[in-house]
Amino acid sequence: MSRLIIVSNRVAPISEGGPAAGGLAVGVYDALKETGGMWFGWSGDVLASGQPQIQLEERGPVTFATIGLVRRDYDQYYRGFSNATLWPAFHYRADLIQYDRHDFEGYWRVNEWLAQQLVPLLREDDVIWVHDYHLIPFAQALRAQGVKNRIGFFLHIPFPASQVLLAVPPHRLLVEALCSFDLLGFQTEPDLRAFCDYVVNEAHGEVEHAAKGPSTIRAFERTLRAAAYPIGIYPDEIAQLAKAGARGKLVRTMKATLHERKLIMSVDRLDYSKGLVERFRAFERLLDHAPAYRNNVSFVQIAPPTRADMHAYQDIRLQLEGESGRINGRFAELDWTPIRYIHRQYERQVLAALFRESHVGYVTPLRDGMNLVAKEYVSAQDPDDPGVLVLSCFAGAAQELEGALIVNPIDIDGMAEALATGLAMPAAERRARYRDMIAQLRENNVSVWRDNFLRDLQGGGEKRRAMRAK
């Protein structure tokens, strides 16, 4: 069997028990711990001086190969083009897109440099699976160095409609680079359709849909395949964690502080794509319109800061501090804080247990590739007395979780109504919705995601002659 090489910017931390907050690290870690292989990417270190060196570390069946970035590369490739240009564009925030030609050059240069670092570690029959928007030029860079292995790409975030992508000045170079992969994976059918639309209408390529399996794309003198592979989780593992966590001291103490009040739970990285401002306002609207909930429901928002050295993230943090303070000031009582707004990471077990203890999971991103939190929320529930998921129609997960209360995350009244419906939903309806969703999560778990992608990457198309590059 071929060895699997995972390449991503963010690599799960090597020393602690689990991966960092972020769907990519969580999903890839779950997928790789069974197959084994190598995970190559950024160490998370930014070097003030010196030449970055690859660090190799074995953990179980996985070899972690990580490397630091020098300051200029971090600024141009990570903070700059990846997170100030691509992230807002791909999340439909054209208003937040910043573009600097030097950052784009840095992005390309770092991709070429990372590819160069990986080449000596590669074997002839390795299968290379590249993840996410930081590494769009990676296959092109490997090919330029003579690598003939199969190379696949999975995009964890949405792929934007052409009219939005056109706002990114080098859009054509990006899509051309994507066409150097053998297989492209997207989270949902709408993402795949947006990519195909660009290929046909902007790049004047061809798309041939298959009755079953990936579509064939012909563009930029390349033939490749593309399909939607919605990422999953291990729902039964989360359920176990939730049960065990609920017995833990932290969760029991927290529960005692609720004094039988109902609990609404949200967990997100503190990102402007997550719709937290609208979410806070909809909770406020609920308290305005349904006074019976005042002092009878608590909303816990866990939001660890992310990309904290970027303006857009500093702005959203300030805005949320203002909103939570304002709403708490309006409604709080001596013995009740309506919104508990917390900026820290918790162990997966604690989060899962909090999900299980809550009555509503409140997951309302403005745009999200998948949103694993929505899937984790459902998995953590007690089958006999499950909570209700309120889910944005703009999360990839909404394509699968039809048992959720689906909301438009900018419709404040609609979200307030969904909260009220969720809090009052009879047990029989909650159970029926839960059964429907958990069945779907079990059917499309993270190993199904991985196996489907790797099957399509390894099969089909002309066989490449694998070559060890050095």
| Residue 123 CA neighbour count, 13 Å, CB half | 9
Q: Are 181 and 192 in contact (CB under 8 A)?
A: no
Scanning residues 301 to 340, which ones bind ligand G6P (CB under 6 A)?
306-307
Token digits for 292? 């019976």
Q: Are 76 and 102 in contact (CB under 8 A)?
A: yes
Candidate ranges 22-30, 59-67, 208-216, 397-405; the one touching ligand G6P (CB under 6 A): 22-30
Q: How far is the CB of 96 from ligand ADP (least distance, A)?
A: 16
Helix H or strand E encompassing 327: helix 311-331
Q: Is the Cβ of residue 231 or residue 420 nearer to ligand G6P in the bound state?
A: 231
Contact flag: residue 267 with ligand ADP (CB under 6 A): yes
Contact with ligand ADP (CB under 6 A): which of 4, 5, 7, 21?
A: 21
Token digits for 87? 């992230």
Partner from ligand ADP, ligand G6P, none contacting 139, C-beta within 5 to 8 A by type = none
Residue of 326, 324, 380, 329 lying closest to 351 (CA atoms): 380
Distances (CA, A) of 236 to 163, 374, 403, 438: 41, 15, 18, 9
Contact flag: residue 22 with ligand G6P (CB under 6 A): yes
Backbone Cα Rg of the chain: 22
Partner from ligand ADP, ligand G6P, none contacting 307, C-beta within 5 to 8 A by type = ligand G6P
DSSP H helices, 332-366, are 348-357
Distances (CA, A) of 129 to 78, 241, 362, 429: 20, 29, 32, 41
Phi-psi region of 428 (alpha: psi -120 to 50; beta: other; left: phi over 0): alpha
Contact with ligand G6P (CB under 6 A): which of 89, 115, 157, 380?
A: 157
Contact flag: residue 370 with ligand ADP (CB under 6 A): yes
Candidate ranges 16-24, 77-85, 119-127, 401-409; the one touching ligand ADP (CB under 6 A): 16-24
Q: Is 368 a catalytic residue?
A: yes
Q: How far apart are CA 22 and CA 206, in angstroms?
A: 34
Query: One of 91, 131, 156, 171 is an active-site residue; which one?
Result: 156
Q: Is 289 a catalytic residue?
A: no
Provide the CA 133 distance to its chain's centre, in angstroms: 11
Q: Is the Cβ of residue 230 or residue 386 nearer to ligand G6P in the bound state?
A: 230
Residue at shortest CB range from ligand G6P: 22
Scanning residues 85 to 144, which ones bind ligand G6P (CB under 6 A)?
132
Q: How far apart are CA 398 and CA 394, in angstroms?
A: 7
> How many residues contact ligand G6P, by CB under 6 A?
10
> How many residues contact ligand ADP, by CB under 6 A?
16
Q: Which parts of this chain interact with ligand G6P (CB under 6 A)?
A: 10, 22-25, 132, 156-157, 306-307
Q: Which parts of this chain interact with ligand ADP (CB under 6 A)?
A: 21-23, 26, 267, 269, 302, 304, 345-346, 351, 370-373, 376
Catalytic residues: 156, 368
